[in-house]
Amino acid sequence: MVGVAALAAGSRRRQRGCLGCGGSARRRRPHLRGRVYRSWRHRRGSGRATGGTGVTDHPEQAGAGRVLALALPTLGVLVAEPLYVLFDIAVVGRLGALALAGLAVGGLVLTQVSTQLTFLSYGTTARSARRYGAGDETGAIGEGVQATWIALVVGGLLAALVEIFAAPIATVIAGDSAIADQAETWLRIAVLGAPLILVTIAGNGWLRGVQDTARPFAYVLAGLAVSAFLCPFLVHGLAVAPQLGLAGSAVANLAGQMVAAALFLTALVRTGVSLRPRRSVIWAQLRLGRDLIARSLAFQACFLSAAAVASRFGAASVAAHQVVLQLWNFVSLTLDSLAIAAQTLVGATLGAGRPTAARTLGWRITRWSAAFAVGLAVVFILGSGVLPHLFTSDGDVIDRIYVVWWFFVALMPIAGVVFGLDGVLLGAGDAAYLRTSTLAAAIAGFLPMIWLSLAFDWGLAGIWTGLALFMIIRMVAVLWRMASGRWAVAGGEVPARRLADEGIASER
């Protein structure tokens, strides 16, 4: 990722050093081994970063090239896993409907286990980027160490719980005993990788924080390549491999997760920072994670409710809803990559003690995000006569797709603004405000419209009107927060008590 606090000579270096060392005019050079330290020394000497992610004393002047250098590898990380899942489905699908249903149920459980802890990525990026911007490279990487400890401990506990309750969990979700048996078989193997998945998430977080998005992409890709190679061999018993059926899919998943996690752990160890757990940092990360988990739960409550209500309107409606929702998810992933670039840049800029530059940079990236979203909207407008037919030939489904298509297109520019500003505020560590505004948008906008649509038979138009209200309320909230400037608090630490200090402690 793009760094924004190049270490310059003279008084500016001494002034910035105070941000990372609690007031001292001198900052000790961290004793770091491996690529992170070598890259840091190169940036310090030349003012430019390797891989096109240069560091400059003027982050507010960041151009599109620098942002893309961060965003494109991040986009690769975001889309790699969904693409592998499609491949896994294609391989397992040849075993028949029962195995495919078991994979769907088991995959749903594993996804829920991991997605609730994405704060290990987003929260770690915010904290690590601030320290990096303040010149505290050791502290920035240390945030990754503590996040990794959380990943190992929490992941281990979750894996143990799922192993204990795998049978009842699969039965409750699947209903059908045959599907539940298949799901349990897959889940008992795959869930052993829960700590590894969380280590990978944490690794993405701290490496983004130190302005490196290339290695996370390479590590994730390496792990998925191993899984993709092993999956058909182990599922179908190709060549000399044993034919494990659905269990082979789980083993392939686990092997890939081991590779990716090992690469992230190796990168962390090679920096030479202390690997000891630090209770104060862990608790600070968990406090930030609490807000991000609550926000994630609000999203899941909304979209699960929408899917449940859409299914009440018949097979054609739920199919159409799923098609357009997957396109929405694709747009979201694309815009998320820009938001993550904003997160790491803004966090580092605030860590460098430049709130004005952070505001300038935040507005700039948000404008780019909105402009890109408008471009995507134009593409989907021009493709409206063709794209729905690529997903289905069923006339009823296509008719219902067009009911929500124009909601989908109209919401893209709004999403561009919301996602861009989400990244800015996450980079500032303003998770409590984002939690509160997201909950408010869900309670006041999305959820009421979903259930009113069921009560008054408004169909998919009612559900997507709820999504529109959800996005509009969020946009108003983040625009107001951005304009207020309250989020732009400089320093190498995420300001844990900022909201209380501003007299709005009720939000916490």
Same domain, 189 and 100: yes
* Cβ atoms of residues 53 and 1 within 8 Å: yes
Residue 492 located in a structural domain: yes
pLDDT class of 223 with cuts at 50, 70, 90: very high
pLDDT-derived band of residue 179, with 50, 70 and 90 as boundaries?
confident
Q: Are residues 52 and 125 in the same domain?
A: no
Mean pLDDT of 321-347: 90
The answer to whether position 430 is within a domain reads yes
Half-sphere exposure of 265 (CA within 13 A, CB side): 15
Alpha carbon separation from 89 to 249, 390, 488 (Å, rounded): 9, 19, 44
> Looking at residue 26, what is its pLDDT?
36
201 and 164 belong to one structural domain: yes
> What's the domain range around 321?
291-507
Q: Which of 218, 249, 277 is the last residue of a domain?
A: 277
Which two structure tokens, joined as six digits, stand for 474? 């969020």
pLDDT bracket for residue 58 (50, 70, 90): low
The answer to whether the beta carbons of residues 36 and 275 sit under 8 Å apart is: no
Provide mean pLDDT across the span 202-215: 94
Same domain for 397 and 259? no
Predicted local distance difference test score (pLDDT) of residue 394: 83
* Whether the predicted pLDDT of 59 surpasses 70: no
Quick one: which of 400, 420, 505 has its CA closest to 462?
400
Q: How far is CA 386 from the centre of its chain?
A: 31
Q: Where do the H-state alpha helices sit in 428-458?
A: 431-441, 447-456
- The pLDDT score that the predictor gives to residue 61 is 57
28: DSSP letter: P
176 occurs within a structural domain: yes
Q: How many domains does the chain have?
A: 3
Contacts of 25 (CB under 8 A, 6+ apart): 14, 17, 18
Confidence of residue 379 (pLDDT cuts 50, 70, 90): very high
Q: Are residues 179 and 272 in the same domain?
A: yes
Are residues 462 and 421 located together in one domain of the fold?
A: yes
Is residue 284 assigned to a domain?
Answer: no
Q: Are residues 105 and 32 in the same domain?
A: no
Residues 55 and 68 in one domain: no
Given 277, 302, 337, the domain boundary residue is 277
Q: Name the average pLDDT for the chain.
A: 84
